[in-house]
Every structure is written in C-alpha cells, then in structure tokens.
C-alpha cells in the first residue's frame, strides 16, 4: 500500500471520528524508531517533529512501548508527560493512538487527533484498532 492509499484511509478514518489530524508510523525494529509513512492535517513544522519518533517517546512511542492504545482527553492541558511539547503545537485536544499489529507483534501506530477536548470511548478505541487490523498486512 502506498502513501496515497494510506492517506485515503486516514481521511476516511478522520471523517468517521470527526477528527482533523491523523498519522501512521511504521516501526523500524533494528533502530527502535517509528518513521512517519502517512499523515493528514499536520502543519509542515509538526511533520518534521513527528517524522521519526523513538520507541518510548511521545504518544506513538509510548503506544509501541506499552503495546496498547494511548489516549489523551486534552493534549493542550495534559500533564502526564506522555505528550511532548512539539505535540502541543498541533492544536490537538483529544488524541488516540493504537498499535498496528501483525501476527501479534507491533509493527507501527495509527494516531488520530481532534481540536476539541475528547475522551475516547472503548468502542472508539476498538473501532480504530479494527481499522489497523485491516491495513496491517499492507504496512
């Protein structure tokens, strides 16, 4: 699946979740770095910030490290330390990032964000995880 196909999936997903930004990162296992392979809605300066993310750093890095979804109700006011200062520049309120898994192994992340404060429900998290299951073999 090429970048254009992944961006279409992101746009469709953002419409479904009434969200404005989305990212797909692929894990480069040897270096433990996540590389941005597709995005929608990120300003250019933020694209540079999230182009490469170390496992364990930021929302996507924490998602891989914990091998589970990471959700933040309001990234602008989050004090957990998960969201890095650069992430706050996106203007995103609610954020959700889920691992992309193939054969039970995390191979990347799929993240969405909305400008409004939003607490993602278990149903929304499961729905986003189902989308990642459909694209995992194509990443």
pLDDT higher than 90, residue 27: yes
pLDDT band at 139 (very low <50, low <70, confident <90, very high): confident
Domains in the chain with CATH codes: 3-138 (3.30.450.40)
Helix extents (H) in 1-139:
3-17, 44-50, 58-66, 85-88, 122-135
| Each residue's pLDDT tens digit, 41-83 | 988 888 888 999 999 998 899 999 999 999 875 455 544 555 5
The pLDDT of residue 118: 73
CB 101 within 8 A of CB 130: no
| Average of per-residue pLDDT values in the chain | 86
| Each residue's pLDDT tens digit, 108-118 | 999 998 887 77
Please report the sign of the dihedral spanned by the C-alpha atoms of residue 51, residue 86, residue 65, residue 135: negative
The pTM is what? Answer: 0.87
């Amino acid at each position: 699946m090429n970048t254009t196909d992944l961006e279409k999936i992101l746009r469709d997903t953002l419409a479904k979740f009434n969200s404005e930004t989305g990212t797909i990162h692929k894990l480069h296992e040897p270096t433990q770095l996540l590389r941005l392979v597709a995005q929608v809605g990120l300003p250019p300066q933020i694209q540079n910030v999230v182009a490469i993310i170390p496992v364990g750093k930021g929302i996507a890095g924490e998602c891989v490290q914990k091998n589970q979804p990471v959700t933040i109700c309001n990234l602008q006011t989050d004090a957990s330390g998960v969201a890095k200062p650069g992430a706050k520049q996106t203007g995103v309120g609610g954020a959700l990032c889920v691992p992309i898994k193939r054969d039970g192994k995390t191979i990347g992340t799929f993240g969405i964000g909305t400008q409004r404060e939003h607490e993602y429900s278990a149903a929304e998290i499961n729905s986003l995880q189902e989308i990642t299951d459909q694209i995992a073999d194509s990443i």
